[in-house]
């Protein structure tokens, strides 16, 4: 039998938690652990779960704050927020909580299941992805670039990794500074394009043979692009 996906359910509503546990039990692929507070969620978040379902309305903390803290603690597990109202839903992804997705209560179980499977699938793909950038193999999940000639691996910061991921997705088309800034730092981040330029400068020093004459991470009219 396939390995079960470990799910952490953070929900203080006993009735809802019971229904979800029953429904998930019908699908052999899940192994559910439930906690009912932010404190317990934070204590357990690092225990190797494949997915976290996180209620916004927790007794001891706003779940959006809990989500932020998990990301600060380097928990990379996909997180789906369970929100109580459309107004909460609006702020889940917008406020840079680090959540991957949300469903608004009351939701149909099928909707949640589809979102869970989508997150599990894309996370799995991201973990094993190997992309080619110039003469490097780029492993986003490990935040490294491996020169194909066997030279030392280059370690990247989180932001550098995300910049390369986004530029790679654009397949050589230039990405505007504002777009890149928003994609990497979030829409509400108080950062200027100067911050982005600083990161690009440092990144070039890591990956370009001659950082002052970039051949890989190009400045084009309209923004930045990866050479094809």
- Binding residues for Ca ion, rule: CB under 5 A, are 12, 55, 57
Nearer to Ca ion, 12 or 146 (CB): 12
Residue 25 φ/ψ, nearest 5 degrees: -65, -25
Compute the least distance from the CB of residue 38 to Ca ion, in Å. Answer: 11
Residue 174 φ/ψ, nearest 5 degrees: -70, 140
Torsion angle in degrees (nearest 10) through CA of 87, 70, 123, 140: 120
Nearer to Ca ion, 33 or 61 (CB): 61
Nearer to Ca ion, 53 or 181 (CB): 53
Cis peptide before 106 (omega within 30 of 0): yes
Gap between the Cα atoms of 171 and 189, Å rounded: 26
Nearer to Ca ion, 57 or 186 (CB): 57
Compute the least distance from the CB of residue 82 to Ca ion, in Å. Answer: 8
Neighbours of 111 (CB within 10 A): 11
Compute the least distance from the CB of residue 59 to Ca ion, in Å. Answer: 7
Compute the least distance from the CB of residue 12 to Ca ion, in Å. Answer: 5
């Amino acid at each position: 039998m396939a390995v079960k996906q470990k799910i952490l359910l953070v929900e203080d509503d006993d009735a809802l938690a019971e229904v979800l546990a029953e429904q998930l039990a019908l699908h052999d692929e899940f192994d559910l652990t439930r906690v009912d507070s932010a404190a317990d969620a934070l204590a357990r978040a690092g225990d190797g779960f494949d997915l976290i379902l996180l209620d916004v309305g927790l007794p001891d903390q706003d779940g959006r704050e809990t989500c932020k803290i998990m990301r600060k603690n380097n928990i990379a597990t996909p997180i789906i927020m369970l929100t109580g109202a459309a107004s909460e839903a609006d702020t889940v992804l917008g406020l840079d909580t680090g959540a991957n997705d949300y469903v608004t209560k009351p939701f149909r179980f099928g909707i949640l299941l589809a979102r869970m499977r989508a997150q599990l699938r894309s996370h799995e793909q991201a973990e094993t992805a190997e992309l080619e950038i110039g003469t490097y193999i780029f492993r986003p999940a490990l935040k490294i670039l491996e020169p194909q000639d066997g030279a030392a691996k280059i370690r990247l910061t989180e932001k550098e990794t995300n910049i390369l991921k986004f530029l790679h997705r654009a397949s050589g088309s230039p990405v505007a500074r504002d777009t890149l800034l928003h994609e990497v730092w979030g829409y509400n981040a108080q950062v200027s394009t100067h911050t982005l330029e600083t990161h690009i400068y440092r990144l070039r020093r890591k990956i370009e043979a001659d950082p002052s004459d970039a051949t890989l991470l190009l400045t084009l009219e309209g923004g930045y692009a990866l050479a094809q």
